[in-house]
């Protein structure tokens, strides 16, 4: 198997023409014969380069609006022939097939076309056929052929050829082949996902996922785990598309928690200033107020112990006054739709604090797929885009909740959606005052949330627990009255829950006996 393969002939066929002229000039300067197609060959020829048209190689004109131009034995034979196989060489000579040593191909912009909301037929026309075929042929025969699919790799290609006297090494060609197959795989996934959506068949017989590398990570959740961060191509506002203004590189856990925080505040896009503080993917405080600073302080007051070293998210652009308040304690990441120059200046003195800004909030109602790996398989489902309106609430208790209680219940419900099950959230006057997450028993979650409220009352010097007079949200129904009664003992006055238990009548009776107002949503938000 040859190591160094000299580049004598190159085929260039690109949709994205950025950097290709400089590349072609460099190749020509090293004596490489250039073959090209359509608009690419015209551009190179206009620039004064000597170029052979693909039609001269195949003996056929480009036809059917360019659909058929490289799908020919003179192209694929030139790519697939083994240069150290005498029989292959004899067949090439017999049929007048000249070897091609380098292929520069990037594909029709299918993903970009879909992202622009183009019509069905336009998207179909932007499905590349000849390009992926050449990429696969060249990549398969990487022992003899170099394949480059990304303009970002042009400079490295020229450096390689200069270092190897116009040749490429086996190790380099193998690296290119991996990148090439990864590209065609992602392209096919994009086409499949789009067609699946168009045909309203979200779960076809074969399901694939793809991503583009954003960055390698030092490690995963723990130091012994390798990790990387990929973009899924949707462009959804969030940590994957955010701009990092300062601070050290994000870790796996930073990214996971920042995503949880930003998805939570996105629930409150139209609710005025809202802040969420996240620790280990769970909210430790969420607050709404007239200003971002006040919203932050209300979120922080829920659980100051857990907030230390947490992730802070806002639903509005960050101002300097709020930034100054955040800077008083150790914070890992702050994410917001924007930040003023003055706010950025405040954080500039905190070299380890990461500031991320996005161009907007993610749409919490967006219908998309989510997946989770299990042993030997993947669980795929719609992401939880469920949302309720005030009109969806069904009062099931004798006592009707007050308007203030309804407002707090709706706030608590949005927060509970983002708390690990079993989830219990106490809210009072537009701020969480106690959160119980991830317990095996809903009763335990209720008690933990109440205890946290009591702990903060002591820490803040309050005369009584803020759980007294609060409303309670539960992400799923109360199967028995015990969890509800525990909330009542802590001082709760109203409860919002999905309902749907076979023991609903007992739970309603217990609420009435305790003087609680209770509403059903008819919608559950398990989060595992």
99-138 confidence digits (pLDDT tens): 999 999 999 999 999 988 999 999 999 998 989 999 999 9
Write down the pLDDT at residue 226.
95
Is the distance from CB of 128 to CB of 208 less than 8 angstroms? no
pTM for the whole structure: 0.86
pLDDT in tens, 217-274: 999 999 999 999 999 888 899 999 999 999 999 999 999 999 999 999 999 999 999 9
Band of residue 76 on the pLDDT scale cut at 50, 70, 90: confident
Q: Is the per-residue pLDDT at 71 higher than 60?
A: yes
The Cα–Cα gap between 114 and 471 comes to 45
Q: Is the per-residue pLDDT at 428 higher than 80?
A: yes
Write down the pLDDT at residue 206.
86
Q: H or E stretch including 276?
A: strand 274-279
Write down the pLDDT at residue 75.
85
241-357 architecture in CATH?
3-Layer(aba) Sandwich (3.40)
Question: Which of 258, 297, 265 is CA-nearest to residue 411?
Answer: 265
Band of residue 97 on the pLDDT scale cut at 50, 70, 90: confident
Task: Write down the catalytic residue from 280, 344, 350, 398.
Answer: 280
Band of residue 86 on the pLDDT scale cut at 50, 70, 90: confident
Q: Do domains 5-198 and 392-520 have the same CATH topology?
A: no
- Averaged over 424-431, what is the pLDDT? 96
Q: Is the per-residue pLDDT at 1 higher than 70?
A: no
5-198 adopts what CATH topology?
A: Rossmann fold (3.40.50)
The Cα–Cα gap between 334 and 327 comes to 10
pLDDT in tens, 167-216: 999 999 999 999 999 999 999 999 999 999 899 998 888 888 888 899 99
Is 280 a residue of the active site?
yes
Write down the pLDDT at residue 480.
93
Write down the pLDDT at residue 209.
84
Is the distance from CB of 100 to CB of 145 less than 8 angstroms? yes
83-87, 453-457, 511-515: range with lowest mean pLDDT:
83-87
Write down the pLDDT at residue 66.
63
Q: What is the CATH number of domain 392-520?
A: 3.40.140.20
Q: Where are the beta strands (DSSP E) in 297-431?
A: 310-314, 331-336, 354-357, 369-374, 377-382, 394-395, 424-427
pLDDT in tens, 326-378: 999 999 999 999 999 999 999 999 988 999 999 999 999 998 888 888 999 98
Write down the pLDDT at residue 499.
95
Write down the pLDDT at residue 337.
97
Q: H or E stretch including 51?
A: strand 51-53
Is 140 a residue of the active site?
yes
The Cα–Cα gap between 83 and 497 comes to 70
Break the chain into its structural domains and give their ranges.
5-198, 241-357, 392-520
Phi-psi region for residue 391, left (φ > 0), alpha (ψ -120 to 50) or beta?
alpha
Residue owning tokens 């050290």 = 248
Mean pLDDT (the chain, rounded): 92
Write down the pLDDT at residue 136.
94
Q: Is 401 exposed, middle or buried (0-12, 13-18, 19+ CB in 10 A)?
A: buried
Band of residue 63 on the pLDDT scale cut at 50, 70, 90: low
The Cα–Cα gap between 78 and 267 comes to 56
Task: Cite the DSSP H helix spans in 360-501.
Answer: 403-416, 442-460, 481-489
Q: Is the per-residue pLDDT at 65 higher than 70?
A: no
Band of residue 2 on the pLDDT scale cut at 50, 70, 90: low
Task: Write down the catalytic residue from 17, 88, 140, 398.
Answer: 140
> How many Cα atoms occupy the beta-carbon half-sphere of 398 within 13 Å?
7
What percentage of the chain carries pLDDT values higher than 90? 79
């Amino acid at each position: 198997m040859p190591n160094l393969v000299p580049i004598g002939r190159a085929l260039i066929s690109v949709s994205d023409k950025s950097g290709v002229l400089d590349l072609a000039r460099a190749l020509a300067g090293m004596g490489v014969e250039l073959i090209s197609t359509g608009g690419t060959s015209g551009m190179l020829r206009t620039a004064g380069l000597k170029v052979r048209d693909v039609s001269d190689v195949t003996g056929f004109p480009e036809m059917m609006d360019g659909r058929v131009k490289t799908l020919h034995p003179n192209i694929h034979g030139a790519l697939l022939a083994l240069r150290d196989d005498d029989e292959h060489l004899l067949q090439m000579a017999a049929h007048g097939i000249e070897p091609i040593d380098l292929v520069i191909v990037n594909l029709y912009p299918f993903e970009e076309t879909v992202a622009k909301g183009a019509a069905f037929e336009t998207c179909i026309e932007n499905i590349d056929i000849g390009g992926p075929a050449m990429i696969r042929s060249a990549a398969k025969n990487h022992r003899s052929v170099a394949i480059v699919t990304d303009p970002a790799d042009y400079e490295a290609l020229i450096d390689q050829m200069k270092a190897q006297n116009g040749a490429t090494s086996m190790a380099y060609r193998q690296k290119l082949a991996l990148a090439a197959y990864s590209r065609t795989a992602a392209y096919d996934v994009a086409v499949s996902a789009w067609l699946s959506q168009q045909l309203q068949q979200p779960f076809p017989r074969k399901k694939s996922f793809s991503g583009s590398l954003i960055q390698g990570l030092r490690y995963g959740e723990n130091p012994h785990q390798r990790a990387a961060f990929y973009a899924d191509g949707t462009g959804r506002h969030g940590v994957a598309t955010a701009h990092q203004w300062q601070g050290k590189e994000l870790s796996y856990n930073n990214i996971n928690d920042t995503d949880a925080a930003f998805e939570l505040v996105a629930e409150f896009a139209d609710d005025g200033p809202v802040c969420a503080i996240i620790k280990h993917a769970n909210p430790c405080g969420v607050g709404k107020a007239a200003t971002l600073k006040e919203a932050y302080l209300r979120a922080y007051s829920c659980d100051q112990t857990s907030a230390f070293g947490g992730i802070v998210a806002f639903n509005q652009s960050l101002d300097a006054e709020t930034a100054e308040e955040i800077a008083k304690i150790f914070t890992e990441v702050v994410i917001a739709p924007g930040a003023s120059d003055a706010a950025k200046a405040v954080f500039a003195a905190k070299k380890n604090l990461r500031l991320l800004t996005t161009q907007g909030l993610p749409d919490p109602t967006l219908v998309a797929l989510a997946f989770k790996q299990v042993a030997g398989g993947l669980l795929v489902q719609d992401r939880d885009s469920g949302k309720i309106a005030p009109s969806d609430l069904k009062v099931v208790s004798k006592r009707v909740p007050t308007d203030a209680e309804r407002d707090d219940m709706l706030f608590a419900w949005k927060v509970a959606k983002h708390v690990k099950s079993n989830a219990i959230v106490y809210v009072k006057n537009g701020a969480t005052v106690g959160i119980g997450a991830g317990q095996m028993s809903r009763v335990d979650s209720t008690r933990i949330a109440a205890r946290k409220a009591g702990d903060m009352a002591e820490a803040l010097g309050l005369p009584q627990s803020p759980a007294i007079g609060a409303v309670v949200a539960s992400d799923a129904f109360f199967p028995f009255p015990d969890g509800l009664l525990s909330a009542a003992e802590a001082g709760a006055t109203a409860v919002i829950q999905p309902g749907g238990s076979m023991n609903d009548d007992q739970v309603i009776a217990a609420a009435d006996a305790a003087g609680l107002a209770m509403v059903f949503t008819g919608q559950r938000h398990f989060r595992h």
